[in-house]
Amino acid sequence: MSHPFDLKGRAALVTGSTAGIGRGIADTLAAAGANVVLHGKEDDKEAQDALRACRSHGVRASLLTGDLAGTSQLLAEQICRQALESEPGLDLLVNHAGGHQGEGAFEEISAELLEQTLRINVTFPWLLAQQFARHWMRSGVRGRMVFTGSVNGRLAEPDSAAYDTAKGAVEMMVRTLCVALAPHGIRVNGFAPGIVHAPRTVWLKQQPDRAAWIRGHIPDGRIPDAVDLGATVVYLLSDAAEFVNGHMLVVDGGITALQLPSPFATSPEQTP
């Protein structure tokens, strides 16, 4: 434990890691010494930029591509196999890929949209974790997994019923996989971000009044950048968290600690 956050000698697959929070996670894992297998929908400029950023830390970095929305057992097997071909000693899995489809009112949500939301946020991470668990159990690898949840798994949001349900399921999945896999030496945790500056939240810069309203719901009034969350995942995958298991670590700046913000506040300094 002389260097408890050091990931040298380890290798990680991070799904959804060519942009946003996923890219920040991959880059921070590489900075901590881990070789990384990135995953994105396509091999575009964004993906190549992410690869170069990881390699700049002196580690190996490779890329897998494919849309995970068409979830199937075969796709999970393929992603697992390709990741292990790139990094045979891979012992870290970050199930980050997910998504919010833009839903509208609960009574208007179609079965297709609900199923699509559950597939990308719950079903595929489950199937991919199962593939790696099987491989690690056969190989005697004490693997480590992290799932990306959300404060939406604890706090409901208007017009977000399917996504909130899916992220609530992710939190329970972390617990149940901990119970299933801990006897095999495999550790499973998750982290739940709040609002973050990322490609999907560009409106934070485009709509300053709405961003100010969001900051009024955060005790210290700050919204993090995507890269700021990577260190949380390094911790959960590192030896420093050896006895952290089945836990969803909320990383929201205190959103879930604040009962009701002042209706007039846009920042802590402006609270009447």
- Note the pLDDT tens digit of each residue in 115-144: 999 999 999 999 999 999 999 999 999 999
Domain 11-270 is classified in which CATH homologous superfamily?
Answer: NAD(P)-binding Rossmann-like Domain (3.40.50.720)
- Note the pLDDT tens digit of each residue in 156-182: 999 999 999 999 999 999 999 999 999
Q: At 29, which amino acid appears?
A: L
- What are the tokens at 56? 């700049």
| CA 54/CA 243 separation, integer angstroms | 28
Q: Cβ distance 32 to 234 under 8 Å?
A: yes
CA distances from 214 to 185, 223, 268 (A): 41, 9, 12
Q: At 170, which amino acid appears?
A: V
Task: Name the nearest CA neighbour of 223 among 204, 208, 206.
Answer: 204
- Note the pLDDT tens digit of each residue in 77-116: 999 999 999 999 999 999 999 988 778 999 999 999 999 9
- Domain parsing of the chain, residue ranges: 11-270
Report the catalytic residues: 163
pLDDT of amino acid 2: 63
pTM for the structure as a whole: 0.92
